[in-house]
Amino acid sequence: MPYRYETHLHTVESSACGRSTGAEHARFYKALGYDGIFVSDHFFRGNCAVPRDLPWEEWVRRYCLGYYSAKEEGDRIGLQVFFSWEESIDGDDWLVYGLPPEWLAAHPEIAHATRRQQLALAHEAGGCVIQAHPFRMRDYIRRVLLSPQFCDGVEVANAGNKQPEDAAARIYAEERGLYMVCGSDNHESGFGKRDPEVTWGIETQERLTCPADYVRTILERRPIRLLCPESRLVPVEGTAVTESFWMDDAETDPVPTGRGWLFD
Ligand SMILES: [Zn+2]
Ligand SMILES: [Zn+2]
């Protein structure tokens, strides 16, 4: 029997752009028949809702409020709620799974880590890193930067993306042999507020009992189903993606890929 999980969502308590409380998210996903959610609020260098000049432990405590809200409600109604986060490093976004709030409180260096350091810190502590929506172009993203060497997989389908961005990400991930995941990037839950049809995620064959189970799923490359329409990942004639760059190992000097990805 398959299990359904949301891998990417933001709460109003912890993300400046969040619209729903953790508890509201939990109730919505429970009503949709999900087994669990990962709360992945915008982290220290992203659009977080917590003032960055607070002492670190206090910053972490407040950063986790959205997760705690979801967790409390999830425990009450029978939905698994897992902690994760989404960091922005110089314009690209990273989902980190498998490390708990207590780890964060003890590791302030994560807030200033390079991509390479972030991956090493996560691995050291039993976590993993997914590059979120790598082909997204928005005003807050400087350019499409592909960093296969600094992640364990790629979010190829993101409900907040435009379709060509996801199709390109799928082609990129397949070519490079990168593990593929899917998430909604949901900022607002509720019937009449969010379309269940564009509420995505993943389906696993086994129940995830803890965040570490998801880390194992990714690192052992276990088969999962991406919960998005198949057409989402197929290039459409007449669409295009912007130019893209390979991030170099020193993270200083990206080089153009010279690829359009969708048709070449
Ligand atoms: Zn956001
Ligand atoms: Zn996000």
Rg (CA), the chain: 17
What is the distance in A from the centroid of ligand 1 to the CA of 185? 8
What is the distance in A from the centroid of ligand 1 to the CA of 45? 12
pLDDT above 90 as % of the chain = 93
Domain assignment present for residue 27? The answer is yes
Number of domains in the chain: 1
- Could you say which ligand is closest to the alpha carbon of residue 88? 2
Residue-by-residue DSSP string for the chain = --EEEE--B--TTTBTT--S-HHHHHHHHHHTT-SEEEEEEE-TTTTBSS-TTS-HHHHHHHHTHHHHHHHHHHHHHT-EEEEEEEEEETTEEEEEES--HHHHHH-GGGGG--HHHHHHHHHHTT-EEEE-STT---TT--SEEE-GGG-SEEEEEETTS-HHHHHHHHHHHHHHT--EEEE--BS--STTTS-GGG---EEESS---SHHHHHHHHHTT---EE-S-GGGGS--TT-----EEEPPTTSS--EE----SS--
Residue 1: predicted pLDDT: 80
Question: Can you give the CATH number for the domain in which 89 is found?
Answer: 3.20.20.140
CA dist 72 → 9, 22, 26, 67, 68 (Å)? 16, 9, 9, 9, 6
- Counting every residue, how long is the chain? 264
Domain assignment present for residue 261? The answer is no
Q: In this structure, are residues 173 and 131 in contact, taking their beta carbons and an 8 Å threshold?
A: no
What is the distance in A from the centroid of ligand 1 to the CA of 12? 10
Domain assignment present for residue 94? The answer is yes
258's tokens: 């010279």
- Could you say which ligand is closest to the alpha carbon of residue 136? 2
Q: In this structure, are residues 83 and 112 in contact, taking their beta carbons and an 8 Å threshold?
A: no
Residue 130 has pLDDT above 80, yes or no: yes
Residue 238 has pLDDT above 70, yes or no: yes
Residue with tokens 């912007």: 242
CB atoms within 5 A of ion ligand 1 belong to 17
Residues facing 211 on adjacent strands: none
7's tokens: 């891998």
What is the distance in A from the centroid of ligand 1 to the CA of 228? 20
Residue 137: predicted pLDDT: 81
Comparing C-alpha atoms, which of 43, 17, 233, 50 is closest to residue 129? Answer: 43
Domain assignment present for residue 139? The answer is yes
Residue 180 has pLDDT above 80, yes or no: yes
Domain assignment present for residue 34? The answer is yes
When pLDDT is averaged across residues 99-114 and rounded to a whole number, the result is 98
When pLDDT is averaged across residues 104-129 and rounded to a whole number, the result is 98
Residue 140: predicted pLDDT: 67
What is the distance in A from the centroid of ligand 1 to the CA of 9? 9
Tell me which residue range forms the domain holding 20: 3-228+237-256
What is the distance in A from the centroid of ligand 1 to the CA of 22? 14
Residue 142 has pLDDT above 80, yes or no: no
Give the Cβ contact number of residue 146 at 10 Å: 25
pLDDT top residue among 264 and 59: 59
Provide the residue type at 104 as one letter.
L
What is the distance in A from the centroid of ligand 2 to the CA of 8? 6
Domain assignment present for residue 43? The answer is yes
What is the distance in A from the centroid of ligand 2 to the CA of 4? 19
Residue 242: predicted pLDDT: 78
- Could you say which ligand is closest to the alpha carbon of residue 85? 2
What is the distance in A from the centroid of ligand 2 to the CA of 42? 7
Residue 234 has pLDDT above 80, yes or no: yes
What is the distance in A from the centroid of ligand 2 to the CA of 7? 10
Domain assignment present for residue 53? The answer is yes
When pLDDT is averaged across residues 191-201 and rounded to a whole number, the result is 97
- Could you say which ligand is closest to the alpha carbon of residue 93? 2
Residue 139: predicted pLDDT: 72
What is the distance in A from the centroid of ligand 1 to the CA of 264? 31
Residue 153 has pLDDT above 90, yes or no: yes
Q: Which long-range contacts (CB under 8 A, 24 or more apart) does 250-257 make?
A: 251/90, 251/114, 251/115, 251/116, 254/143, 254/145, 257/146
- Could you say which ligand is closest to the alpha carbon of residue 14? 1
Domain assignment present for residue 263? The answer is no
